[in-house]
Amino acid sequence: MRTIRQPFKRILTLSLFLAALSGYHPAFAETGKADADTHHGHKSLDWPGIYKGLLPCADCYGIKTSLALNKNNTYIMIYQYAGKSPRDYVEKGKFTWGEKQDTIILTPRKGNTVRQYLIGNDTLTELDKDGNLVSGEQASRYVLRRQDVSSEPPSHSGH
């Protein structure tokens, strides 16, 4: 019985080691991406986080918006038509980097409303359908500001 267990343990250990090793390909991780990353400055910007603001609305006070951008290129947007409805709408999807530097394109899982944003220093500015900055007197209202998010819980004073 002992002679059967010993080879079985070796084969199992070797199989687990090879399985773990096959999932790790550092040589291939950067292949083909170096040129794309140098074209876009998104590697240098600290863009993941939660952005909030009150976007313009044609028939309400404004669209209260919270947008969370995740490092895995997914997003969650929660918005509410202020002064019109207390209902929160939730949109989930993925985003890709646009052709223009520091722009992202949000593509929802459901629906076909694609949005574009320009990433700034702790800001996201919503762009028009052609990917250009909105102009006019309402232009400054198309900005979402990043909220400070702490990974550590607040410390409590001693009891």
Mean pLDDT of 49-67: 95
- pLDDT tens-digit readout, 9-25: 555 454 444 344 344 44
* DSSP assigned state of 101: T
Give the residue among 68, 143, 105, 69 at the shortest CA–CA distance from 78: 68
**Domain residue limits, the chain:** 40-146
pLDDT, tens digit (0-9, with 9 covering 90-100), for 46-57: 899 999 999 999
Q: Are strands 62-69 and 115-119 parallel, antiparallel or unpaired?
A: unpaired
Q: With CA atoms as reference, report the closest residue to 106 among 77, 63, 85.
A: 77
Query: What pLDDT is attached to residue 142?
Result: 96
Query: What Cα–Cα distance (Å) separates residue 74 from each residue in 44, 85, 126?
Result: 19, 27, 17
Record: fold of 40-146: Lipocalin (2.40.128)
SS (HEC) of 26-72: HHHHCCCCHHHHHHCHHHCCCCCEEEEEEECCCCCCEEEEEEEECCC
pTM: 0.67
